Amino acid sequence: MSEQQIKITLAQLNPTVGDVTGNAAKARAARETAKAAGADLVVLSELFIAGYPPEDLVLKPAFQAACRAEIEQLARETADGGPAMLIGTPWVEDDKLYNACALLDGGRIAALRFKANLPNYGVFDEKRLFARGPAPGPVTVRGVRIGVPICEDIWLEESEEYENVVECLAETGAEILVVPNGSPYARDKADLRLSIVVARVTESGLPLVYLNEVGGQDELIFDGASFALNADLSVAAHLPAFEENITTLLWRKTADGWRCNGPIAPQLEGDKADYAACVLGLRDYVRKNGFPGVLLGISGGIDSALCAAIAVDALGADKVRGVMLPFRYTAQVSLDDAAKLAAAIGIRYEVLPIADAVNGFEKILAPVFTGLERDITEENLQARARGTLLMAISNKTGAMVVTTGNKSEMSVGYATLYGDMNGGFNPIKDIYKTEVFRLSSLRNSWKPDGALGPSGEVIPTNIITRPPTAELRENQTDQDSLPPYDMLDAILERLVEHEEPLADIIAAGFDRDVVTRIDRLLNIAEYKRRQAAPGVKVTRKNFGRDRRYPITNRFRDFGKVLPAPDETLLTRTSRASAEAFEG
């Protein structure tokens, strides 16, 4: 490295939680790529050696020891004179566990930096896992002082609880900020990340490199999309989203500080980003858990059609099996559309009529049901027969069942436990029904880079335009028991994503009876959601990690406009006592 430049390699990679040896091998290969590019430093993402998020696995002493052993071995390998490595790892020091970044250089662990600000909201739960690190100073790489705030360290302003890590680094001589991240994807999050980074660059006057993980880990998707800003807020580089990428950036020191002009890849936004997230999430869940492929029920409806297209894009047609399970209420158009879909995406496809199974269940139950009217129980027998058959094929072949319920259905309980809810993973669990229609139309005109499915129309137009139906009785449609999906989803978004009071939703123009009914369905379906398969998170508030309501819960919002808080009832003494108690 000359006196006036430094080469930093961004290794935007896809680690696997718990695969310490495999993750170390990825880091080693990235360093070789960086070495070939003449890099001075290669940067990997937050807790890379462990995989992120490791959750309670990181509390296991054997796991902590395995991570440290690999870090120490990687450190020894830097004695070859190649680039230094900045890599995330759990680290135990003085009997405390830290979320750390290790600088490996010259055959040793040259420096350690510990995460100071631990997130404890939404999908994050780090305060119960890690100790808070001290305010860090910069590390030195080839004579350049590099500040290493870790993920949340750039997101929070200084308060009684949080350090302003960037300010501390600037004051102690940092010249470039390099931020390793494990930042999960959520719709429109890219804009939020950029605004946070702009704020930190503005207040510090320093350029910033934002290196993010890519890949799927259970419900979470990490989209990569790493980037760098110069001190004047111009974009220095932007890596592609939803794919691994190793890019070396040349930084030159000018009269105005360090500056870089690197590659800027186009970014996916909106529905295209959501679709790419669903593909990546399913692909990594299947591959990282060792399934040979997937199967799913193909009903001729839009949800299973979209899931089938996502599965083929994720895994390839040879890894996807579709099964049509018709009963007497299954319309011929459903059979025709399912067959067209299977042909369009090129998957193995079978038709297994379920009449014998359903009739058999009804015969067995006849003595118990004597004198009772037929109702939804018999409808659910159809769904449960289908679920049993799909799980039997899964057991026999090892293929994972993909379940296909959308977020609208999961919200209001429009799904059958041990029936259409059966399965190992759901790629559209966090996608509302109106979005299912949009994504289906989108896929017929576009597919993401790296998708393994065919181009062009893969979902028959009739599946998209035909009124949705569960086909559990004659002439049934979803709108027999639910409001139109555009209305339902608008109400659900206010209830689920924004936690709006019913009174505010009603005041916005929605019918009181409809709103109160949807709220009731949302509440009583919590027990079903607790038993649902995991699925890709794409919104800011998904069911499971973000929204965790008690199943036993008697509170109901009846849509009344409640009085404003009466601050006169809270005296100075009572307020102080409350603060003392909280402290």
H or E, element range at 238: strand 235-238
CB 417 within 8 A of CB 313: no
For 346, the 3-state DSSP assignment is coil
259 phi and psi angles, rounded to 5 deg: -145, 150
d(CA 208, CA 164): 15
- Cβ burial, residue 80 (10 Å; 0-12/13-18/19+): exposed
The tokens of 515 are what? 């709103």
Give DSSP secondary structure letters for 365-376: HHHHHTTPPP-H
d(C-alpha 531, C-alpha 529), whole Å: 5
User: Is 46 a known active-site residue?
Assistant: yes
Q: Which helix or strand (DSSP H or E) is residue 96 part of?
A: strand 96-105
Collapsed DSSP state (helix, strand, coil) of residue 321? strand
- Catalytic-labelled residue, pool 115, 340, 433, 537: 115
Q: Quote the CA–CA distance of 113 and 162 in Å, as a whole number.
A: 16
115 is catalytic: yes
Number of alpha carbons in the 13 Å side-chain half-sphere of residue 428: 30
Q: Which of 67, 151, 278, 307 is catalytic?
A: 151
Per-residue tokens: 402 = 């993909």
Please give the biggest Cα pair distance in the chain. 91
Cβ density class 216-233: b for 16+ within 10 Å, e for less: bbbbbbbbbbbbbbbbee
Place of tokens 């995991």: 534
**Tokens read off for 313:** 């894009």
174 secondary structure, DSSP code: -
Nearest Cα to Cα of residue 117 among 184, 46, 220: 46
Write out the two tokens for 320.
Answer: 């996807």
151 is catalytic: yes
Q: Label the pairing between strands 227-229 and 220-223.
A: unpaired
Catalytic residues: 46, 115, 151
